[in-house]
């Protein structure tokens, strides 16, 4: 059976929902999207940074602006009522998607980074002190690492890092040594955006809860690509971004257990998050609105729900199966090419991305050459500089796959990598 015959759904039908995939590239970057002079088919392998957006989600945004554009929670008139209902129902959709108990546990943010900061500032600054510690991992994205690092500097709390072994997995014995009775928070990336490692969140959560510590999972690379249920993971907080899961930019979500969010003070202050204001004091609105100060990203929030509905129609089990298929195929083909070092676990045991370097070729040069072939990948440290320091490299190239990618596109990647390798040989 060919690899294409193992697709869990009709990939060509899915691709038809994403007109941008029909683009040709190679024209003037000063005139984005115009297509003048473009002649090379686009092979987009950078969805771990930002996925593309299907017509159904774009239409949802347009429908809002054309049909019921109004502020939420501020008007009695019909347009405001319609916008408010749609925006609130979007919270329900997101809650159902990750297994939360209700909209009270879902705070809309700009992205995963802001969700991290909400907890770090609203909870961390209040609860952490010099006798406490926060446990992270060496593979954390900067959104987690930098945030808790800076909170540690402000509060005096110790910030510790679980080591990554030679296979690109967490050293769980080291984790057991670091997590102790002084640990207040364990913040762990669910799927590494560099190594592709799928971390054992339930095991880590159990370990943390044994010491009465909270667990925060960075779901930026997991929620878009596989079934995720907060109860199954055993986490207290989970963060993810809409722009990595067929949604628009500028919208993300923080899941938090209701009893914890209820005790936390707001991170931002202003309109909509208040219940009563006097010259002397203020009281806060119910969850989740007390954490959503000011006019929110209304169109983006509604479209976020539309993106989730799109993914659910395909089935998250199918999305994961397709990503796993492409990641393993890419891992095997790049390995067979020779002269390529791939970081992280083997192809059959990783998320839908492959970070690698080609012998004698800087990752930035490789990305530039691949761009000439129409292949879009990411090159750099992927917001994991300390991890790259541990790997002993300044940068790496990363190809990431999503539900609209094909085996033929992986073949195009491998062919272009081979050409680059030979060019620098």
User: Quick one: 355 and 325 in the same domain?
Assistant: yes
Q: What is the mean pLDDT of residues 354-379?
A: 96
Examine the fold and report which residue of 290, 313, 336 is the final residue of a domain before the chain moves on.
313
pLDDT for 315: 98
Q: What string of DSSP letters covers 258-296?
A: HHHHHHSPPSS-SSSSEEEE-SS-EEEPSTTGGG--SS-
User: How far is Cα 17 from Cα 165, in angstroms, rounded to an integer?
Assistant: 41
Tell me the pLDDT of the chain averaged across its residues.
Answer: 96
User: Quick one: 32 and 75 in the same domain?
Assistant: no
**Positive or negative: CA dihedral 225, 376, 192, 336:** positive
Question: What CATH number does residue 241 fall under?
Answer: 3.40.640.10
pLDDT for 33: 67
pLDDT band with cut points at 50, 70 and 90 for residue 35: low
User: Quick one: 208 and 107 in the same domain?
Assistant: yes
Active-site entry in 70, 383, 393, 394: 383
pLDDT digits (tens, 9 = 90+) for 262-297: 999 998 999 999 999 999 999 999 999 999 999 999
pLDDT digits (tens, 9 = 90+) for 290-323: 999 999 999 999 999 999 999 999 999 999 999 9
Catalytic annotation present for 246: no
Examine the fold and report which residue of 267, 297, 313 is the final residue of a domain before the chain moves on.
313
HSE-CB for 190 with a 13 A CA cutoff:
27
Task: Give me the residues paired with residue 164 across strands.
Answer: 170
To 5 degrees, how large is the angle CA 414–CA 419–CA 422?
125
Helices (H), 156-187: 172-178
Q: Whole domain around residue 352: which residue ranges?
A: 4-54+315-424
Examine the fold and report which residue of 257, 280, 313 is the final residue of a domain before the chain moves on.
313
3-class secondary structure, 253: strand
357 close to 391: Cβ distance less than 8 angstroms: no
CB-count exposure of residue 69 (10 Å: 0-12, 13-18, 19+): middle
pLDDT band with cut points at 50, 70 and 90 for residue 5: confident
To 5 degrees, how large is the angle CA 248–CA 250–CA 256?
105
Domain count, the chain: 2
């Amino acid at each position: 059976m060919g690899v294409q015959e193992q697709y869990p759904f009709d990939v060509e039908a899915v691709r038809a929902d994403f007109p941008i995939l029909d683009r040709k590239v190679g024209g003037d970057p000063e005139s984005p999207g115009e297509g003048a002079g473009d002649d090379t088919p686009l092979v987009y392998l950078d969805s771990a940074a930002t996925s593309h957006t299907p017509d159904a989600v774009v239409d949802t945004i347009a429908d809002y602006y054309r049909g019921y554009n109004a502020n939420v929670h501020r008007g009695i008139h019909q347009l405001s009522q319609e916008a408010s209902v749609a925006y609130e129902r979007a919270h329900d959709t997101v809650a159902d998607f990750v297994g939360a108990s209700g909209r009270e546990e879902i705070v809309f943010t700009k992205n995963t980074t802001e969700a991290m900061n909400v907890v770090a500032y609203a909870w961390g600054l209040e609860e952490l002190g010099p006798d406490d510690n926060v446990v992270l991992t060496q593979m954390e994205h900067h959104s987690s690492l930098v945030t808790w690092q800076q909170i540690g500097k402000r509060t005096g709390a110790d910030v510790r890092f679980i080591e990554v072994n030679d296979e690109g997995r967490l050293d769980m014995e080291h984790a057991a040594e670091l997590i102790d009775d002084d640990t207040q928070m364990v913040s762990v990336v669910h799927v590494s955006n560099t190594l592709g490692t799928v971390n054992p969140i339930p095991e880590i959560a159990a370990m943390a809860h044994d010491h009465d510590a909270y667990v925060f999972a960075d779901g930026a690379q997991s929620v878009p690509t596989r079934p995720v249920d907060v109860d199954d993971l055993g986490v207290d907080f989970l963060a993810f971004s809409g722009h990595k899961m067929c949604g628009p930019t500028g919208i993300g979500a923080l899941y938090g257990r209701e009893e914890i969010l209820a005790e936390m003070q707001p991170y931002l202050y202003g309109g909509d998050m208040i219940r009563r204001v006097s010259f002397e004091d203020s009281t806060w609105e119910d969850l989740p609105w007390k954490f959503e100060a000011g006019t929110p990203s209304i169109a983006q929030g509604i479209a976020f729900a539309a993106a989730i509905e799109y993914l659910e129609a395909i089935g998250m089990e199918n999305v994961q199966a397709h990503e796993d298929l492409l990641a393993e195929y890419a891992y095997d083909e790049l390995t067979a090419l020779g002269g390529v070092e791939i970081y992280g676990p083997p192809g059959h045991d990783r998320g839908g991305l492959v970070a690698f370097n080609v012998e004698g070729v800087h990752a930035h040069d490789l990305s530039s050459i691949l761009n000439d072939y129409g292949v879009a990948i990411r090159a750099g440290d992927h917001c994991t500089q300390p991890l790259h320091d541990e790997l002993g490299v300044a940068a790496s190239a990363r190809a990431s796959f999503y539900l609209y990618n094909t085996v033929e596109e992986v073949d195009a990647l491998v062919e272009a990598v081979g050409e680059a390798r030979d060019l620098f040989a």
